[in-house]
Chain A
Amino acid sequence: GDSVTQMEGPVTLSEEAFLTINCTYTATGYPSLFWYVQYPGEGLQLLLKATKADDKGSNKGFEATYRKETTSFHLEKGSVQVSDSAVYFCALLRYNAGNMLTFGGGTRLMVKP
């Protein structure tokens, strides 16, 4: 079955540091890939997405590239801010009835001033 593996957290960085959160997946076919972010006490917000190989999703300074050859979708940001502190979930979706998401375990990011 489908699965998503993320690096375990917490990831603790200083403000303006470079961020990478690794995500790899196992799925048949050509899933779409997503990063969701969850701020404390809130629901999940879609951060970025990529629907086919070599697509790059980007939003709010975050980027991730769909790498089919390495089955990866690593999240990166060049300069993190304290306000980026949150839990980040990588997820895949295969188009079928119901469009179910398969989530990774989540990675908590803590950014210190």
Chain B
Amino acid sequence: DAMVIQNPRYQVTQFGKPVTLSCSQTLNHNVMYWYQQKSSQAPKLLFHYYDKDFNNEADTPDNFQSRRPNTSFCFLDIRSPGLGDAAMYLCATSIDRASSSYEQYFGPGTRLTVT
């Protein structure tokens, strides 16, 4: 089945130690998103890629960066995680072409713990 895959599902890192979360998709969607979600609050958009174009939300901390080496993969890098960065990180994809349905498809998420 076509899907959005996130690895790992659970990640533990130390305060200040860089960490990378990964997302892959088999949907061939051209838009990929990274969200941060805390305590069943609404997901907060960090950034998105429209094809290769990177779009950062204005309030996303500089500590968060992203890479999209190809259509299928997208990475979230947290350069120096703080305790406040502990959260669920959700990857999503959508397609932005004519005759498409546009909704976003979410992966299962990676729960990040910072010790």
A98 at the interface (CB under 8 A from B): yes
Contact: B45 with A100, CB < 8 Å? yes
**In the complex, per-residue mask of A13-46: 1 if CB is within 8 Å of any chain B CB, else 0:** 0000000000000000000101010100111111
Contact: A93 with B103, CB < 8 Å? yes
Contact: A43 with B96, CB < 8 Å? no
What's the least CB distance linking B19 to chain A, in Å?
19
- In the complex, which residues of chain B have a beta carbon less than 8 angstroms from the beta carbon of A36? 106
Question: CA A34 – CA B94 in complex, angstroms?
Answer: 14
* B50 touches which of A41, A51, A95, A98 (Cβ 8 Å): A98
- Residues 80-113 of A at the B interface (beta carbon under 8 Å): 87, 89, 93, 95, 97-101, 103-106, 108
Question: CA A28 – CA B92 in complex, angstroms?
Answer: 25
* B55 touches which of A43, A98, A108 (Cβ 8 Å): A98
Contact: A38 with B94, CB < 8 Å? no
Residues of chain A whose beta carbon lies under 8 Å from any beta carbon of chain B: 32, 34, 36, 38, 41-46, 49, 51, 87, 89, 93, 95, 97-101, 103-106, 108
Offer 19 A-B interface pairs, CB within 8 angstroms, sorted by A.
A32-B102, A38-B40, A41-B111, A42-B108, A43-B108, A44-B43, A44-B106, A46-B104, A46-B105, A87-B40, A97-B50, A98-B31, A98-B48, A99-B31, A99-B104, A101-B45, A101-B104, A105-B41, A106-B40
Residues of chain B whose beta carbon lies under 8 Å from any beta carbon of chain A: 4, 6, 31, 40-43, 45, 48, 50, 55, 90, 92, 94, 96, 101-109, 111
